[in-house]
């Protein structure tokens, strides 16, 4: 029987992630399994496995694969975890989370993006993800508490109201800094002694904006 051979661009994709320091096997496997080409614009399919962010609808972006893998690795996900993502975008990060966590709620302020992401995630069988059209600065109280929170849009600061949604022992990751230029990826852990904060790496994300988008 012939061995299944990964296409060269997917092999390069894995190699790049490893070379840049991603070592969690479950994260690497998930990055291999989720087809990024299903989340990019049709004209960008050929570039889907390059390590760069790409434009999507509504002037937003699908994050660079390394950053997706890195943030996922930093979350230390377990199958029992309930995860909140703010900034659904294409739905790619949510698909990665869905394979490693128990349940994912992802919120997007553009209805068009939320609808498209929901359809993609359904088609891929990611049935533990709920895509919500709404404002990540105003997560409905009924959504409950989360073991992990990942923000994939730049916040000038992390709102206290968001930190309060973390379960004890929970981890929150967010790009924090100016909406223009680069931000610092911050990792917060809710411990018995309080909130531990750590600066990780510099990143560049589109801004997190308050309220839902008026345009589609």
Taking the least distance from each CB to ligand SAH, the nearer of 82 and 120 is 120
- Out of 23, 52, 63, 178, the active site residue is 63
- Residue 97 near ligand SAH by CB under 6 A: no
- Residue 152 near ligand SAH by CB under 6 A: yes
Residue 90 a catalytic site member: no
CA 18, 88, 209, 140 torsion-angle sign: negative
Total residues contacting ligand SAH (rule CB under 6 A)?
Answer: 24
Residues 43 to 72: which contact ligand SAH by CB under 6 A?
60-63
Taking the least distance from each CB to ligand SAH, the nearer of 161 and 191 is 161
- Residue 92 near ligand SAH by CB under 6 A: yes
Report the length, in residues, of the chain: 216
- Residue 175 near ligand SAH by CB under 6 A: no
- Three-class secondary structure assignment of 27-66: HHHHHHHCCHHHCCCHHHHHHCCCCCCEECHHHCEECCHH
Please identify which residue in 34, 113, 126, 174 interacts with ligand SAH, judged by CB under 6 A: 113
Instruction: Label residue 160 exposed, middle or buried (CB < 10 Å: 0-12, 13-18, 19+).
Output: exposed
- Residue 209 near ligand SAH by CB under 6 A: yes
Q: At what angle do helices 92-100 and 25-33 cross, to 10 degrees?
A: 130
Please identify which residue in 110, 158, 183, 186 interacts with ligand SAH, judged by CB under 6 A: 110
Say if residues 90 and 62 touch (Cβ distance below 8 Å): yes
What whole-number distance in Å separates Cα of residue 72 and Cα of residue 66? Answer: 10
- Residue 137 near ligand SAH by CB under 6 A: yes
Distance in Å, CB of 175 to ligand SAH, minimum: 10
What whole-number distance in Å separates Cα of residue 24 and Cα of residue 18? Answer: 9
Please identify which residue in 108, 120, 170, 188 interacts with ligand SAH, judged by CB under 6 A: 108
- Residue 107 near ligand SAH by CB under 6 A: yes
Residues 6+ apart with CB under 8 A from 25: none
Paired residues of 106 in beta bridges: 85, 131
Catalytic residues: 63
Question: For binding to ligand SAH (CB under 6 A), which residues are involved?
Answer: 60-63, 86-87, 89-90, 92-93, 107-110, 113, 135-137, 152-153, 206, 208-210
């Amino acid at each position: 029987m012939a061995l299944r051979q990964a296409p060269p661009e997917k092999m390069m994709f894995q190699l790049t992630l490893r070379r840049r320091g991603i070592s969690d096997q479950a994260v690497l496997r998930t990055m291999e399994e989720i087809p990024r080409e299903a989340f990019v614009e049709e004209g960008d399919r050929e570039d889907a496995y390059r390590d760069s962010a790409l434009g999507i609808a509504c002037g937003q972006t699908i994050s660079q694969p390394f950053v997706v893998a890195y943030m996922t690795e930093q979350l230390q996900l377990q199958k029992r975890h309930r995860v909140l993502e703010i900034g659904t975008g294409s739905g790619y990060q949510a698909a990665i989370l869905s394979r490693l966590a128990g349940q994912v709620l992802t919120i997007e302020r553009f209805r068009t993006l939320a609808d498209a992401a929901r359809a993609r995630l359904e088609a891929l069988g990611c049935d533990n993800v709920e895509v919500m059209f709404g404002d990540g600065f105003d997560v409905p109280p009924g959504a409950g508490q989360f073991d992990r929170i990942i923000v994939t849009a730049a916040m000038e600061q992390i709102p206290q109201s968001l930190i309060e949604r973390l379960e004890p022992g929970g981890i929150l990751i967010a790009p924090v800094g100016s909406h223009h230029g680069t931000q610092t990826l911050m990792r917060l852990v809710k411990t018995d002694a309080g909130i531990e904060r750590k600066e990780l790496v510099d990143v560049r994300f589109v801004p997190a904006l308050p309220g839902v988008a008026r345009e589609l």
